[in-house]
Amino acid sequence: MSTYTLPDETGHFGIFGGRFVPETLMKAVMELEAAYNEAKADQEFQEQFRHLLKEYVGRETPLYFAENLTKHAGGANIYLKREDLNHTGAHKINNAIGQALLAVRMGKRKIVAETGAGQHGVATATVCALLNLECMIFMGEEDIKRQALNVFRMELLGAKVVSVTSGSSTLKDAVNEALRYWVANVDDTHYLLGSVMGPHPFPMIVRDFQSVIGTETREQFLDRNGKLPEAVVACIGGGSNAMGMFYPFIKDEQVCLYGVEAAGHGIQTPFHAASLTKGKPGVLHGALMYLLQDENGQIQEAHSISAGLDYPGVGPEHSYLKDSGRAQYHSISDQEALEAFQILSKLEGIIPALESAHAVAFAIKLAAEMEPGQNMVVCLSGRGDKDVDAVKSRLHGGETNE
Amino acid sequence: MNRIEQAFRQLTAVDGKAFIPYIMAGDGGLSCLVERLQLLEKFGATAIEVGVPFSDPVADGPTIQQAGIRALKNGTNLKDILVELSKARELVQIPIILMTYLNPIYSLGINRFVQEAQSAGVDGCIIPDLPMEEEEIILPQFLKAGVELIRLVTPTTPVERVRKISSKGSGFLYTVTVKGITGARGEFDGGLNAFLQTVKQVSPIPVVAGFGISNEEQIAELTKYCDGVVVGSKIVELFAKNNITELETFMSVIKRTSAKI
């Protein structure tokens, strides 16, 4: 991986990725690609993006040495990249700002987006408020129940939240509806996709905007330690925080990349969201990627305590990194994530998002297997305020939130 | 000569228009598929588009989504549909065109799918999430098997691209009449006729309009500018209600309308 230039010109990462969308959207995705390539080379655009990340989001985020957690794990040093400290409480805002600026540049004043946990919806609604864009968010009915507070936040920010009742009423169905809406309103609307998935150029655009996470981490770690960490860990739903973290490290072959999927009730049960571990390649939402599907190619519902990981697919670039062996993918159960949620809260005074708690749970295990003095960075992708209610009811008996 | 090409030649000879009903395989149970195909042929269909249910049909509106959900609940899958179609082939003479999203094909295996479709007598295949840029994934197999890949153009497709897509031409050019998903609509955008005219001028293969078409007036208007229509949601609805009488009436009116032009 000393050179890494993916995706190729047609938007493929090896066999993965591509543009498997209805013809109605081809013009829009090609225009988006052209607009992005221009913006990428435009210093003024990049400066605008950097400016908002600094002044509005509050970047750079700290790289925090979690000493207590390190002692608890009893092995490698654990650093946390504090994406939870971003404005709106998660990494999602990085991409939302980038794409919203791109939409404005393309003359599109209407934004449509999907959301699972509500973090991407809140980030999108936030940046739409800031830039005075019309905003419509599709969200599964199930997720609306699980994340009522985020729904209210989005509405406060001026967005219209549309409840999706088709299919399993979760993230994948919200993507379906957002895509249908986009197909019908493609002339004046930008689809602000929230993860490294969908048709090319989305996986590339989202990765690039999120790669500020890994770029900062790499610099911060080098400044502090004069070398690179042995391991980098991030949770994976669609995979945007992980891709943002991994991408700047891909060429550093000595750095092991670990993605952590949601094992839900366990990967031996039908109730999980471990697309890379248990899925097989297929086509959904515009891309060829690892997918949870039955023997007839019907997409299966994903299950996780964390709404943000509850997606049956995973970005095409992760699919490629898995097959190429450059990154390793593991999974963490609901139960393990809940424990990590509490451990990090108690030991470090940091309440993580349930999504990020999956990464923390895996990091604790991994650190114990590594040598003291070795180092790992965990992407703490979001804060846990949104999950406190769900965790409370779960800990006090009952599985009310699945 | 492929059955699709033959069907259009016959129509041209009598100055007629193609009428292609869509049905969802497995809606009402897969066992009634053959019978329904025979009915549609008897009622005067030029060809039949057979939908394969998929869990995430992003190009489809509520009527076809619901039909797909019912079909999936009945346990319908692509393999079994192909088995039924091979039975139908002995009884139905008109072209049969499969409409399926890519993933059920990918899951079955592209080579296996194309072989089985060919031996089942499938004449063409519409894959709504397979734009020109990605078609190499299956086109060589289709070409070898003589199964036509039916391509789509839409009102957002630039003229140059319409030219490119239609010049690859096989079967007919499926011209989507709306910016949006399938489903019956009251009226179309103002620019539609001009769009259809442009497509018709550019395309070396027959132009068939589809999406949102549900009544006689629309068909009379649209067929002035193209070679035929696909009617989906309306037919699916009538079958779901098992209203065969109304289906027969509807189809005879359509046939009259198409013949009058």
- Across the interface, of A27, A179, A185, the residue whose CB is closest to B58 is A179
- ω before B204 within 30° of 0 (cis)? no
- Across the interface, of B58, B79, B131, the residue whose CB is closest to A23 is B131
B123 classed as catalytic: no
Looking at residue A59, the DSSP 8-state letter turns out to be P
Which residue type does A275 have? Answer: S
- By DSSP bridging, strand A134-140 and strand B148-150 are unpaired
Q: Name every chain B residue with its beta carbon within 8 A of the beta carbon of A21.
A: 129, 131
**Neighbouring C-alpha atoms within 13 Å toward the C-beta of B69:** 11
B179, A299: Cβ pair inside 8 Å? no
- Across the interface, of B65, B72, B154, the residue whose CB is closest to A23 is B154
Cβ-based contacts under 8 A for chains A and B: 120
* CA closest to B56 among chain A residues: A176
* CA closest to B66 among chain A residues: A166
Which positions ≥6 away from A46 have C-beta within 8 Å? A39, A40
DSSP sequence for A249-294: GTT-TTSEEEEEEEEET-TTSS----HHHH-EEEEETEEEEEE-B-
Residue A6 forms contact with B (CB below 8 Å)? no
Residue A12 forms contact with B (CB below 8 Å)? no
Min Cα separation B248/chain A (Å): 32
* CA closest to A175 among chain B residues: B58
Q: In this structure, what are the phi and psi dihedrals at residue A137, rounded to the nearest 5 degrees?
A: -115, 125
* B91-126 per-position pLDDT tens digit: 999 999 999 999 999 999 999 999 999 999 999 999
**In this predicted complex, what is the ipTM?**
0.96
d(CA B239, CA B226): 27
Each of the 261 residues of chain B gets a pLDDT tens digit; together they read 689 999 999 998 988 999 999 999 999 999 999 999 999 999 999 999 999 999 999 999 899 999 999 999 999 999 999 999 999 999 999 999 999 999 999 999 999 999 999 999 999 999 999 999 999 999 999 999 999 999 999 999 999 999 999 999 789 999 999 888 888 777 677 788 899 999 999 999 999 999 888 888 899 999 999 999 999 999 999 999 999 999 999 999 988 877 654
A381 classed as catalytic: yes
A114 classed as catalytic: yes
Residue A28 forms contact with B (CB below 8 Å)? yes
